[in-house]
Structure 1
């Protein structure tokens, strides 16, 4: 069984973890109605449209 020869420093461990667990920014697409940036396959929070139909009426 492998045994480490030296203690791994906290900074070295954290640097390695930060590289592995990096969070990526979500992909965004333009809403076909209002051109607002929205997540793909989600309703537009600005106009309430999803796939060219109204899902939520706009409270104005």
Structure 2
């Protein structure tokens, strides 16, 4: 069974984990209702995507 010969330092351990953090999702603004929304998705408040009504008139 593989066993490390030397202890991995805190610096090396943390450098290896530097890319594992998660980032916040991108936020854009709906051109119709000016509410925040995720890019490339229909607006949850007004139901439009690229200027077209795709979710029906729920608002």
What TM-score comes out, normalization by structure 2 length?
A: 0.69
Contact 2:42 2:49 in 1 (8 A): yes
Q: Secondary structure at the match of 2:41?
A: coil
- Unpaired runs of at least 5, structure 1: none
Deviating beyond 4 angstroms after TM superposition, the runs of 4 or more aligned structure 1 residues are none
| Distance in 1 (alpha carbons) for counterparts of 2:37 and 2:58 | 19
Contact 2:46 2:58 in 1 (8 A): no
| RMSD (Å) for aligned C-alpha atoms | 2.0
Contact 2:30 2:37 in 1 (8 A): yes
| Distance in 2 (alpha carbons) for counterparts of 1:59 and 1:37 | 17
